[in-house]
Chain A
């Protein structure tokens, strides 16, 4: 059983959303918002998660992703895989990850590259769902990323001031204590550290964007 927000392959950056529910009729997953991986002061245990998602939750998920300006979101557990993407690329992502329309890591339906809105497709996976099993972090695949999530509700800043350089960029190497961003709330500037060693391969949010508790901020390819 695994849960992980996986690295979206560069060649899929511009695809519409794809989803692979193994069992669409399964009862609702209660905690879409509770995807905090637990860090800093709140090292939460992975929560109980059911291996499915219904259409309402999917809509809510897409709403959250659109609202928050995310371009890619991917969630995988045993027997269940959801991946939602939007057409807008961050400039760094587009610069470093040119589109390769033919190549994909999975048998996703061909994307149209449409830059408007999100769409969803379903493909069953072979692994059976294990509702009730405890979620664990996926560690077996080398594409699995360490996800830095927001510890609080606030505003995401990539640099210490509007004119300063970003703390990190796609491709930056980070150490455990590297400051990757600031989340501001009520004029408390929260310094967020990488808490792992590796390379920044995903930045899920835009500068000055409002972020929710537990929202993914960065994907770090650990070494």
Chain B
């Protein structure tokens, strides 16, 4: 049993599950309200990048959370969500996915799940909306992203059961979220994230920021979830935004 009590609102088609969750949160929705749609007509990711969401090809899901965490720990919610998806894919599809910092789920460096989290101020307090898009079906992806993306079906060579994935996802979010909000929950979440991500330590990466790009080797996470990257010059940089790309391992 977890403290989170999910309530699901289902839509055949919607602009974006996150937009609907934001609207619901502003209208006073309680923690645990979930939006699930068979299709998104304006699915989006970070900085309004689009997220392809054709009918029944993926799980398009958003949840309203009202964390009691201190504000500086709220970014850990996105790491928590990635862990929850990882749990759900393992249980529902026997798929072990990697977590790319901070919250993409990948198989063979190809993304199969993206998470977009945002905060909103509402009359009943601050809320966090966590949107999760999981590519389920193999032929659902447009050619433009086929080199970068994959699906659960492609990765497992089996048709995933969407209802089962959702069921396990709700369970996993409940557990991971309770854990995050418990004493030592932050440290625990960081540890778990590191244990489930090949990007946590010793990975050669390129970091693309809005106005800067650099390379280095990952050296774990800060307590707020920031990625520590050691550059060639030995300088430690803390990454809290931007895109991470894995580089081929060097022989050194």
Contacts and interface: CB of A to CB of B under 8 A. Distances in A.
Interface of A: 40-42, 151-155, 157, 160-164, 177, 182, 184-191, 193, 207-208, 210, 213
Interface string B64-81: 000000111011111100
B211 A186 contact: no
A184 B48 contact: no
A157 B118 CA distance: 13
B47 A152 contact: no
A177 B121 CA distance: 8
A210 B46 CA distance: 17
Given A188-B75, A189-B118, A161 B211 contact: no
Contacts of A190: 74, 118-119
A87 to B, nearest CB: 20
A186 B226 contact: yes
Nearest to B238: A153
B58 interface: no
A41 B118 contact: no
Which DSSP category, helix, strand, loop or mixed, fits chain B's interface? mixed
A163 B48 CA distance: 9
A161 B72 CA distance: 23
Contact of B240 (A160, A161, A182, A210): A210
Nearest to B79: A186
Contact of A40 (B71, B128, B224): B71
Given A152-B75, A184-B240, A189 B119 contact: yes
B162 to A, nearest CB: 24
Contact of A208 (B75, B102, B210): B210
Interface of B: 46-49, 70-72, 74-79, 102-103, 115-121, 126, 128, 209-211, 224-226, 240-241
Nearest to A208: B210
A123 B115 CA distance: 53
Given A155-B240, A208-B210, 7 more contacts: A41-B71, A186-B75, A186-B103, A188-B117, A189-B119, A190-B119, A213-B72
B6 to A, nearest CB: 20
A188 to B, nearest CB: 5
A160 to B, nearest CB: 6
9 contacts: A155-B210, A184-B241, A187-B75, A187-B115, A187-B241, A189-B119, A191-B118, A191-B119, A208-B209
B240 A154 contact: yes
B74 A154 contact: no
A164 B240 CA distance: 22
B121 A193 contact: yes
